[in-house]
Amino acid sequence: MAKKTPAAQPALVHIPTVGKGTDSLSKEQKAFNRLTKRIGKLETEVTEFRAAADKLRQRVQNEYRPLQTQHHDQRAAMVRALGHAYEHQKLTKTERKKIVDLVVDKCADLLDRGYDDLAPIFDLLDPPPTPEEAAAFEAEEADLETQTAEMMKEMYRQQFGIEFEEGVDVSTPAKFQAYVAQQMAAQQEAYNQQEAEAEERRAKRKKSPKQQAAADKKKAEEQNITQAVRTLYMDLVKHLHPDREPDEAEKIRKTELLARVTTAYKANELLTLLRLQLELNRIDQAHLENLAEDQLRYFNKLLREQVRELDQQLFDEQMGLQSFTGKPYYYTSSPASMELDFLQMKASLEQRIRQLEAEVTAFGHDPKALKAFLRDYKIPKAGSAPRFIQL
């Protein structure tokens, strides 16, 4: 079997040093080398993290989701076994309370997952309220919503200066949020108007010679940065223009390279353009060594921006995976940790499926097994702490 050809690595863009150490390099040259190295490292991290995250998502769909279905099937079987025992087996009051807790509090989500045959069991263990109880509950809920609305009004008055008009209808969370959004939009519009007027006054105000010199310097620097990148871009465009290439294969290659050049230019990816120049022998390392300090300063400013963008890309990838897994990104911050976390989750779920299956089988053959199970089960105490126990 032929070995797979490794993917071509991007050209290393750095300013060579003369002799040992970096004492021969200027401050801007050292910064250039440091930034290009940092960008290369970040590009690798973003690419590897994205590939690993995509692989993890695929494995979750192909391997973990089917296990979740099996787990829900076994939970449903457990509910049936517990419901049967509640109805037909001689149980103590405490044992019955434990069955209610296990089914009603831990497995109610199964009704939303399509296990409609379990509805009679839930009705048996948690009967629907009587009309009187329902009316009392609705009254209590309405009173609680009123208290909550008043508390929220006061909070928004203090924090955002929002005043609630007399008689305004904020009786539901949706209406409350709609009113708040309307008031905050009005506040933002007024603020924007004030800022626009202040900016207009500042623009009309005559600048001091020092302020004018600083503004002119900033404008000139921005123009020089734009020109520095455009010079690289135009050189590559002239070299790669496919219309001047008679060879069809070479024409296709140049067309693909030109697309990369254009994409890099639009994204202000200076390092990508420099790599392409090195690949195509448009410049060499000696050329980089002889770049003027002013040009290096412009280049470094763009490279710093590219570092910030790559840092943001990596952060966005991490946050995207965090949203998918529901875990802080540092649990899965590398391909190796993603693999380990997935295998642990999968093994844990497989073990829980086997345990549920064994328990349901035992309950069906031996009533004493159910009583032993209920004896060991403790109903969690009510409190503010989250309850993670679930079948």
Weakest mean pLDDT among 70-74, 181-185, 288-292 = 288-292
Weakest mean pLDDT among 5-14, 35-44, 120-129, 321-330 = 5-14
Question: pLDDT confidence of 212, banded at 50, 70, 90?
Answer: low
Residue with the bigger pLDDT between 137 and 388: it is 137
Q: What is the pTM of this model?
A: 0.65
Tokens of 211: 């302020």
Round the average pLDDT of the chain to a whole number and report it: 83
CB distance 283 to 277 below 8 Å: yes
Domain ranges of the chain: 27-128+332-376, 131-204, 213-290
pLDDT of residue 387: 42
Weakest mean pLDDT among 54-58, 219-223, 227-231, 386-390 = 386-390
Residues 6+ apart with CB under 8 A from 42: 307, 310, 311, 313, 314
pLDDT of residue 4: 41
Mean pLDDT of 209-232: 64
Judged by DSSP in three states, 23 sits in: coil
User: pLDDT tens digits, residue range 358-378?
Assistant: 999 999 889 899 999 999 999
Q: What is the dihedral of CA 7, 8, 13, 16, to 10 degrees?
A: 110
CB distance 291 to 299 below 8 Å: yes
Question: pLDDT confidence of 12, banded at 50, 70, 90?
Answer: low
User: pLDDT tens digits, residue range 239-298?
Assistant: 777 777 777 887 888 888 888 888 888 877 777 878 877 777 776 666 777 777 877 888
Tokens of 331: 């649990």
Mean pLDDT of 15-28: 71
User: pLDDT tens digits, residue range 301-347?
Assistant: 888 888 998 999 999 999 999 988 888 878 888 889 999 999 999 99
pLDDT of residue 114: 93
Residue 7, pLDDT above cutoff 50: no
Listed ranges 68-82, 208-222, 226-240, 267-281; the one with the highest mean pLDDT: 68-82
DSSP 187-205: HHHHHHHHHHHHHHHHHHS
